[in-house]
Amino acid sequence: MLRRAIATALVAGALLACSRSQRPAVVAHGPGEEKGDSAVAGRTINQVLAAHTDSLMKIPGVVGTAIGLCGGERCIKVLMAGASPSVGKIPTQLEGYRVVVEVAGPIVPR
* pLDDT score recorded for residue 12: 38
Alpha helix ranges (H) inside the chain: 2-21, 45-57
Residues 35 and 28: their CA atoms lie apart, in Å, by: 8
Task: Say if 108 falls within a structural domain.
Answer: no
Q: How many structural domains comprise the chain?
A: 1
Task: Say if 72 falls within a structural domain.
Answer: yes
* pLDDT score recorded for residue 78: 96
Provide the 3-class DSSP secondary structure of residue 99.
Answer: strand
Domain hosting 74: range is 2-103
Task: Say if 110 falls within a structural domain.
Answer: no
> Which residues of the chain fall short of a pLDDT of 70?
1-41
Provide the 3-class DSSP secondary structure of residue 35.
Answer: coil
Task: Say if 17 falls within a structural domain.
Answer: yes
Q: Are 79 and 66 in contact (CB under 8 A)?
A: yes
Q: Are 46 and 30 in contact (CB under 8 A)?
A: yes
* pLDDT score recorded for residue 83: 87
Task: Say if 109 falls within a structural domain.
Answer: no
* pLDDT score recorded for residue 56: 96
Residues 96 and 51: their CA atoms lie apart, in Å, by: 14
